Chain A
Amino acid sequence: MARAAVLGRLSWRAAQVRQVRDESATARTLVLEVPSWPGHLPGQHVDVRLTAEDGYSTQRSYSIASAPDGARVELTVERLEDGEVSPYLTDVLQPGDPLELRGPIGGWFVWRPEEPAPTLLTGGGSGVVPLMAMIRTRIARGSGTPMRLIYSTRGPDTLLYHEELQRLGDQDPALRVDLVYTRRAPTGWEGKVGRLGAAQLAALAWPPADRPASFVCGPTSFVEAVANLLIDQGHDPQRIKTERFGPSGS
Chain B
Amino acid sequence: MGIVSRGFRGRRGRPGPELPPGQYLVEDFPVLSAGPTPRIDLDKWEFTITNETGERKSWDWAAFRALPSESPTVDIHCVTKWSKLGTGWEGVSLDTLMEGVETSASFALAESYGGYTTNLPLEDLLDGKAWVAYRFGGEDLEPEHGGPARLLVPHLYFWKSAKWVRGIRLLDSDEPGFWESLGYHNYGDPWREQRYWGD
B-binding residues in A (CB < 8 A): 1-2, 4-5, 7-10, 12, 14, 47, 49-53, 55-61, 84, 88, 92-93, 97-100, 105-109, 220, 224, 227-228, 230-231, 237-238, 240-242, 244, 246-249
Interface 0/1 of B20-55, CB less than 8 Å to A: 001010111011111111110000000000000000
Q: Give bound CA distance, A17 to B106, whole Å.
A: 47
Most chain A CB atoms below 10 A, which of B8, B26, B30, B114: B8
**Which residues of chain B have C-beta atoms less than 8 A from A244's C-beta?**
30-33
Chain A CB within 10 A, most for which of B81, B181, B183, B195 = B183
> What are 20 residue pairs bridging A and B, where the CB atoms are less than 8 Å apart in the complex?
A5-B182, A5-B183, A7-B198, A47-B195, A50-B10, A88-B8, A92-B6, A97-B6, A100-B5, A105-B196, A106-B183, A220-B144, A230-B36, A237-B38, A241-B35, A246-B30, A246-B80, A246-B82, A248-B27, A249-B80
Given A108-B34, A231-B36, A238-B115, answer yes or no on A50-B5 (Cβ-Cβ < 8 Å). yes
- B8 to A59, Cβ gap below 8 A? no
A56 touching B37 in the complex, CB below 8 Å, given contacts A61-B81, A100-B2, A244-B32: no
Q: Which residues of A contact B197 (CB under 8 A)?
A: 7-10
Report yes or no: A248 in contact with B5, Cβ–Cβ below 8 A.
no
B192 within 8 A of A: no
Q: How far is A58 from B16 in the complex, measured between Cα atoms in Å?
A: 13
| B4 part of interface (Cβ distance < 8 Å) | yes
Number of interface residues of B (CB under 8 A): 43
Distance between Cα atoms of A58 and B81 in the complex (Å): 9
Which of A50, A100, A237 meets B36, CB within 8 Å? A237
Report the bound CA distance from A248 to B8 in whole Å.
Answer: 20
Distance, CA A60 to CA B183, complexed state (A): 17
- Chain B 126-153, CB-CB to A under 8 Å as 1, else 0, gives 0000000000000000001000000000
Whether, in the assembled complex, B99 has its beta carbon less than 8 Å from a beta carbon of chain A, the answer is no
Residue of B nearest to A228 (CB): B36
**A171→B109 CA distance, assembly (Å):** 49
CA distance A34 to B12 in the complex (A): 30
Instruction: Tell me if B3 is interfacial: C-beta within 8 Å of chain A.
Output: yes
Q: Does B7 contact A (CB under 8 A)?
A: yes
Do A237 and B81 touch across chains, with their CB atoms under 8 A apart? no
* Smallest CB separation, B91 vs chain A (Å): 23
- CB-CB under 8 A from B32, the residues of chain A are 244, 246
A57 touches B2 (CB 8 A): yes
